[in-house]
């Protein structure tokens, strides 16, 4: 008998699947021939997706969030449905694509107000990763219990509000801001992403009482390199109709598949000005008549965000 379901966990070639509206879970492997013939949908406008699909053949063809058709008796996955989106990163070692979550709509980029203190340059990279995947990004600032004056943190994040991002302030430890975040999680599949040790798993444990995801021990300095969560997993929030993915902390964010020409669109506050540059291939770094640079001078674009863009685009220029 064939069924259709969502892969919510994968472990060494064995995938755990849930069928919508049912509580039973299934485990299945990928049909051998499917591994070879697998061609992902290249639907959509972007030739990038074709390249991605080719690259991905080397790594795991299934990601959490994939909808699959599987044979219940043989415990074999026979078909992977086309994806409408994916959150991927490149391996710093091999440059290979690794899809963290498929078919998601929103990424909650989680940082801490302190321990570790927010690294805005890294936050910008996470946001570019999300924007380049054409997903919605929201910012979550956890551990607000650790800062005596939250106003200072709010000022730090002001440029992101101006850029159009929603920012949620909360504390998983003191359980404030959790209900507000739960209301924001109404989309079908969303993911938590961010550096290690900021409290992604702790927040999920608060969102879903009884979940008991493993979190870093109190006092242990996880953000200095140790990762508590090692594989991405989808957690059903309500009767399998909305899901959140917990992902391992990313220490460094590489986004080789962001076209240099597309980087400027990954900064939402640039978009209104891009058409006004004198040259239509403006790099926004040295050219005369650059609308982005004059917006920075006029205080309409945050100067540090602009420098973050310059830094990333100069890295891209060397790839
Ligand atoms: N003070 C304070 N500590 C917190 C809060 N949330 C989490 N922590 C602590 O931060 C540490 C890391 O929490 P985790 O939830 O494991 O962090 P993570 O982001 O899932 O980390 P990785 O799985 O390694 O990516 C643990 O010691 C938590 O107890 C918070 O709101 N306030
Ligand atoms: Mg974790
Ligand atoms: Zn320009």
How confident is the model over 281-298, as pLDDT tens digits? Answer: 999 999 999 999 999 999
Distance 85 CA to ligand 3 centre (A): 30
Interacting residues of 64 by C-beta distance below 8 A, sequence separation 6+: 7, 8, 9, 10, 100, 101, 102, 232, 233, 234, 245
pLDDT (0 to 100) of residue 285: 94
- The alpha carbon of 201 and the centre of ligand 1 are apart by a number of angstroms equal to 7
| pLDDT exceeds cutoff 50 at 222 | no
Segment 94-129, tens digit of pLDDT = 667 788 999 999 999 999 999 999 999 999 999 999
Residues with CB under 6 A from ligand 1: 142-143, 145-146, 171-173, 196-202, 215-216, 218, 222, 227-229, 248-249
Q: Which of 175, 202, 231 to mutate to test the pocket of ligand 1 (most atoms within 8 A of CB)?
A: 202
Query: Which parts of the chain are beta strand (E)?
Result: 2-11, 14-18, 25-30, 67-71, 76-80, 86-90, 97-102, 106-112, 136-142, 167-169, 189-193, 233-238, 242-246
CA-based nearest residue to 131, from 317, 319, 308: 308
Q: Are 19 and 239 in contact (CB under 8 A)?
A: no
> Of the bound ligands, which one is closest to the alpha carbon of residue 276?
3
Check whether 141 has a pLDDT greater than 80.
yes
Residue with token string 């220029």: 317
Query: How far is Cα 61 from Cα 56, in angstroms, rounded to an integer?
Result: 7
Dist CA 192 CA 232 (whole Å)? 10
Reported residue count of the chain is 319
Highest mean pLDDT among 47-61, 99-113, 177-191, 255-269: 99-113
Q: What percent of the chain has pLDDT over 70?
A: 82
pLDDT at 46: 47
Confidence of residue 27 (pLDDT cuts 50, 70, 90): very high
More confident residue, 92 or 284: 284
Q: What percent of the chain has pLDDT over 90?
A: 61
Centroid of ligand 3 to alpha carbon of 67 (angstroms)? 42
Q: What is the pLDDT of residue 211?
A: 83
**Residue nearest to ligand 1 atom 10, measured at CA:** 199
In sequence order, what E strands does 153-223 have?
167-169, 189-193
306 — pLDDT class (breaks 50, 70, 90): very high
DSSP string, 93-145: TT--EEEEEES--EEEEEEESSSSPP-HHHHHHHHHHHHHTT-EEEEEEE-GG
Say how many C-beta atoms besides its own lie within 10 A of residue 158's C-beta.
11
End-to-end CA distance of the chain: 49
Residue 284 Cα to ligand 1 midpoint, Å, equals: 38
Report whether pLDDT(7) > 90: yes
Which residues have a beta carbon within 5 Å of ligand 3, which is an ion?
277, 282, 284, 290, 292
Query: Sorting pLDDT into bands at 50, 70 and 90, what band is 91?
Result: low
Q: Distance from the CA of 188 to the center of ligand 2, in angstroms? A: 21
Half-sphere exposure of 198 (CA within 13 A, CB side): 28
Closest residue by Cα to residue 208 from 249, 169, 240: 240
Average pLDDT score over the chain: 85
């Amino acid at each position: 008998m064939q069924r259709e379901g969502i892969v919510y966990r994968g472990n060494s070639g064995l995938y755990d699947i849930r069928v919508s509206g049912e509580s039973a879970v299934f485990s299945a492997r990928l049909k051998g021939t499917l591994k070879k013939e697998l061609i992902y949908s290249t639907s959509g406008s972007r030739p990038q997706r074709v390249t991605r699909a080719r690259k991905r053949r080397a790594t795991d063809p299934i990601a959490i969030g994939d909808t699959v058709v599987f044979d219940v008796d043989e415990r074999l996955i026979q078909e992977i449905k086309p994806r409408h989106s994916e959150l991927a990163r490149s391996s710093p070692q091999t440059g290979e694509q690794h899809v963290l979550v498929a078919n998601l709509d929103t990424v909650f980029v989680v940082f801490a107000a302190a321990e570790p203190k927010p690294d805005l340059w890294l936050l910008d990279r996470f946001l570019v990763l999300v924007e380049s995947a054409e997903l919605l990004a929201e910012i979550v600032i956890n551990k607000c219990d650790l800062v005596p004056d939250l106003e200072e943190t709010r000022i730090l994040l002001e440029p992101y509000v101006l850029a159009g991002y929603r920012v949620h302030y909360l504390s998983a430890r003191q359980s404030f801001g959790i209900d507000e975040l739960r209301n924001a999680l109404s989309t079908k599949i969303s993911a938590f992403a961010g550096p290690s040790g900021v409290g992604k798993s702790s927040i999920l444990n608060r969102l879903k009482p009884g979940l008991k995801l493993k979190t870093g021990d109190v006092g242990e300095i996880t953000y200095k390199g140790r990762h508590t969560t090692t594989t991405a997993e989808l957690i059903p929030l309500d009767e399998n109709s909305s899901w959140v993915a917990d992902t391992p902390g990313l220490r460094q964010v590489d986004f080789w598949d962001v076209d240099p020409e597309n980087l400027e669109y990954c900064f939402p506050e640039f978009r209104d000005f891009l058409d006004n540059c004198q040259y239509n291939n403006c790099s926004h770094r040295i050219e005369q008549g650059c609308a982005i640079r004059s917006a920075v001078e006029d205080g309409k674009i945050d100067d540090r965000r602009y420098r973050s863009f310059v830094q990333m685009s100069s890295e891209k220029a060397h790839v």
